[in-house]
Amino acid sequence: MQNETEKLNNVNEEVPTSQSLTSDKLKSMPVGKLLFTMALPAIVSMFIESLYNIIDSLYVSKLGQEALDAIGIGRPLIMIIIATAVGIGVGANAFVARQLGFKNRKKADQIAKTSLILAIGAGLVFLALSFFVPVPFVKLFTSNETIIAYEKDYISLYMAFSMFSIVSIVGAKVLQATGNMRVPMISQIVGCVTNIILDPFLIFEEFLGIEGLGMGMKGAAIATIIGQAVSCAYVLLAFVVKKQDVSIFPKGLKFNYKNVWSILNIGLPTFILNAMGSFTTIIINSILKQYENGITVMSVFFICQSFVFMPVFGLTQGTMPILSYNYGANLRHRYNRCFKLSLITALCFMLFGLVIFQFFPQLIATIFSLSVVAKADTVLAFRILSISFLPAAFSILTITLLQSLNAGFYSMSMSLLRQLGFVIPFAFLLNFLFGFKGVFYCYPIAEIFTLLIFLPIAFGKYKRSFQKREQLELLKQGAE
């Protein structure tokens, strides 16, 4: 018992009272107002990101349906890059927020610095992979030379310069852990706006009467890279211009593998969630390639569904540091209130998306340059796939809860079961039984089954985690 008390005292390294940390609001501001101020900037930035995805894809679709197919086939590689960045970022976010809740600022600072080293290392790995992965990958799905050329122009460049995106995402999530949501929001907006402005002039030979460079898919890739570089520069500048609660720059870093593991232990489930999404997309594309418009339909759906899911992911960016901090500070009532408000908000977003996808799918499909048959197939897929939206809201918040409790194994298992246990097997089975239409039902079935299994598991983990925190607090009080 004495050892447990000593450990807790070591964790609770006090910050001098003369210092006022941005993160102090995580324990003092009313929860509803706190969630609003924390989540709204992230929701806005994610909304801008989803809007960019749609506008960017609309420009690309003007090059022809083959260009959309190239994006759809290459999407899993982009998802792997984003999964890596978000995995490192979420791991750093949750651990930094929790250590600030423990009042262990020094540890939080070391974790933030370590996350930048990991981000740079990941960018170098993807730079090396960009030289020999994209073209062989696309040839697994098609022999169409036009699609292969588009893939080489876009995905190879995206991978080669992905360090800008990775560092930007990781830096933003470190700032969010301290309660700074404004800088990540602005960085996301300036990056997306830069991309949207550059896209038409780099892609087309003429736009709005102004002569462009006419670079096609390569122009789309360059516009994306420049936008990511601007976003990255803005995030890093925030650490230079104004002193933050933690620093991301390596000066003063005492690198050790325990800090690396602390990040990966929390971030690995998020990486697996997104990486498994990449693997699942590869399998689904391999099934759908036998149908004329199969890959096109899934590509358009993933572009449009971001309009619904991105704001929810933005919500969790605001939710995660609040939950993690208040778990670390053992403020159970604030933790509960934040989770309930977040869940209600996520359900509202998803319900709105469900209504749009169920009742107005023709309107959405019309904005893309698709054939008549492809539009009809897209409408069918939208109505089936959107059934998964409401259960997905519960799943996303359940994973966020588990990550805030440092329950990496459970959230990772949840992700694996959904993808490997349900989506892929049901995709093969339903394709065999019902053909093209059947493939899309695998997603709502997987969401519902996963939720039924993991809701009670998450609730049990929550109860045990707070009971342990309360016992440690009692030990500490007894020692004092």
Average pLDDT over residues 213-223: 88
If you average pLDDT over residues 53-79, what whole number do you get?
Answer: 84
Q: Which helix (H) or strand (E) holds 401?
A: helix 389-404
Residue among 177, 194, 424 nearest 319 (CA): 177
Can you give the pLDDT at residue 477?
65
How far is 132 from 5, CA to CA, in rounded Å? Answer: 54
The closest of 402, 332, 401 to 27, measured between CA atoms, is 332
Mean of pLDDT over the chain: 84
> 343 in a domain, yes or no?
yes
Residue 3 lies in a domain: no
**Selection from 181, 168, 171 nearest residue 35 by Cα:** 181
Residue pair 247/236 in contact (Cβ under 8 Å)? The answer is no
Using alpha carbons, select from 321, 362, 360 the residue that is nearest to residue 342: 321
Cβ-contact 114, 196 below 8 angstroms? no
Q: What does pTM read for this prediction?
A: 0.75
Q: What is the pLDDT of residue 10?
A: 41
Q: Residue 405: is its pLDDT beyond 90?
A: no
Per residue in 273-290, pLDDT (tens digit) is 778 878 888 899 999 988
Residue 15 DSSP label? P
- Range in 64-73, 247-256, 358-367 the model is least confident about: 247-256
Tokens of 128: 């090396």
Main-chain phi, psi angles of 66, to 5 degrees:
-65, -30
- Report the alpha-carbon distance of residue 238 to residue 460 in Å, rounded: 40
Number of separate domains in the chain: 1
143 in any annotated domain: yes
Instruction: For residues 211 and 208, give the distance between their C-alpha atoms in angstroms, rounded to a whole number.
Output: 8
**DSSP label at residue 19:** -
Tokens of 137: 């990958």
Task: Give the pLDDT band of residue 4 (cuts 50, 70, 90).
Answer: very low
Going by pLDDT thresholds of 50, 70 and 90, the confidence category of residue 23 is low
Q: With b meaning 16 or more CB within 10 Å and e meaning fewer, what string describes 99-118?
A: bbbbbbbebbbbbbbbbbbb
| Cα four-point dihedral sign 426, 283, 303, 268 | positive
Amino acid at 93: N
CA 465, CA 476: separation in Å to the nearest integer? 17
Say which amino acid occupies 242: K
Residue 207's beta-bridge partner residues? 210
CA 302 to chain centre: 14
Structural domain boundaries enclosing 396: 26-479
pLDDT tens-digit map of 272-331: 777 887 888 889 999 998 888 888 888 889 888 888 998 898 898 889 888 888 887 788
Instruction: Give me the residue label for tokens 């470190």.
Output: 174
How far apart CA 42 and CA 49 sit, in angstroms, is: 10
* Residue 322 belongs to some domain of the structure: yes
Sequence-separated (6 or more) residues with CB below 8 Å from residue 189: 44, 45, 48
- Biggest CA pair distance of the chain: 76
Closest CA to 1 of 465, 480, 477, 472: 472
Under a CB-based contact definition with an 8 Å cutoff, are residues 296 and 65 in contact?
Answer: yes
Binned at pLDDT 50, 70 and 90, residue 339 comes out as very high
Structural tokens at position 297: 């339909």
Distances, alpha carbon 248 to alpha carbons 124, 240, 252, 437, in Å: 18, 10, 10, 48
Structure tokens at 83: 């999964």
Grouping H, G, I as helix, E, B as strand and the rest as coil, residue 256 is coil
The distance from CA 339 to its chain's CA centroid, rounded to whole angstroms, is 19
User: Alpha-carbon distance 366 to 122, whole Å?
Assistant: 39
Number of other residues whose CB lies within 10 A of the CB of residue 142: 18
